[in-house]
Amino acid sequence: MREFNLAISTCPNDTFIFYALVNNKFENYKFNVSFADIDELNNLAFQKEFDIIKVSFNAFGFLMNDYDLLDSGSALGQGCGPIIISKNFVKIEELSGRKVGVPGKYTTANYLFNLAKNVETEDVFMRFDRIIPAILKNEIDAGVIIHESRFTYESYGLKKILDLGEYWEKHFNTLIPLGGIIVKKSIEPNVKMEIDKLIKLSINFSKNNFQRVLPFIKNYAKELDEATIKSHIDLYVNQYTYSLGKEGSLAIEKFYKSGYEKGIFENFKFCIVGQNGIG
């Protein structure tokens, strides 16, 4: 039996996608899984210890020499981007010189925040689930939220300053790429293809056995309300999660090309395993 080290987030979309792999429902392969916050995953990826790992697309821009992107497992779409929120401010210009909580240096949220903001801010990197509590305690003036937080922030009396997904869609006229599953280039091409197929099968398993999978998802979720969990999965697990397709691939290319033109990424050439061959 072939074994791989796999690292994913605790977010409902990842635990939904990978339930069958994590619980070893498939023959011939065993996946030893580690769970971490997306910022931790990004940092772990740079250590190159995991064979398969979930990362922000921002982070993957610096890892293309060692990893390929899988066709399956990604989070991208429309109306699903990070949101800038605050208790006291409603315009991005008001954040000049203010402390803003950001969920990690290499997150796509940070990339988009720097792309959209037209003022200098004092950015404070912290776990995504600490951002709302920090705003409520006045430890920071605003925050860039991701994951379940986008469904709950209004219940805390917080206000939206800017939807960064909408900003991206308006300026680049394409889907917003958030995070993807990457696999080491050193793994044999046919095995990488097989891993991509297994993720697709795992997605199908969860779709067909949601109530069976739900307790597993709740065990790792930050928000336990079933409606919130389902909204999260419905938003982040979509047709592009199953396969990026032409539209998803073009969106990712635009993402890296925009960063390349700004001198952030060294190149914007990447390989998608399971779609356009093996690099």
Question: Torsion-angle region of residue 24: left (phi > 0), alpha (psi -120 to 50) or beta?
Answer: left
- CA 98 from chain centre, in angstroms, equals 26
Tokens of 187: 């793994």
- Residues whose CB falls within 8 Å of the CB of residue 106, separated by 6 or more in sequence, listed in order: 39, 42, 43, 55, 56, 58, 59, 62
Cβ contact 10:220 at 8 Å: yes
Bridge-based pairing state of the strands 272-273 and 67-70? parallel
Measured from the Cβ of residue 199, the count of other Cβ atoms closer than 10 Å reads 23
Q: Tell me which of 54, 117, 147, 222 is the catalytic residue.
A: 147
β-bridge partners, 54: 181
**Short-list 150, 178, 159, 151, CA closest to 78:** 178
Active site annotation includes 171: no
Closest C-alpha to 12, from 205, 243, 252, 215:
215
Residue 11 phi/psi, 5-degree rounding, is -70, 150
**Which alpha helices (H) appear in 120-271, and where do they start and end?**
131-136, 149-152, 164-172, 189-208, 210-220, 226-236, 239-242, 245-261
The CA dihedral of 181, 183, 189, 190, to the nearest 10 degrees, is -60
Q: Which residues are catalytic?
A: 147
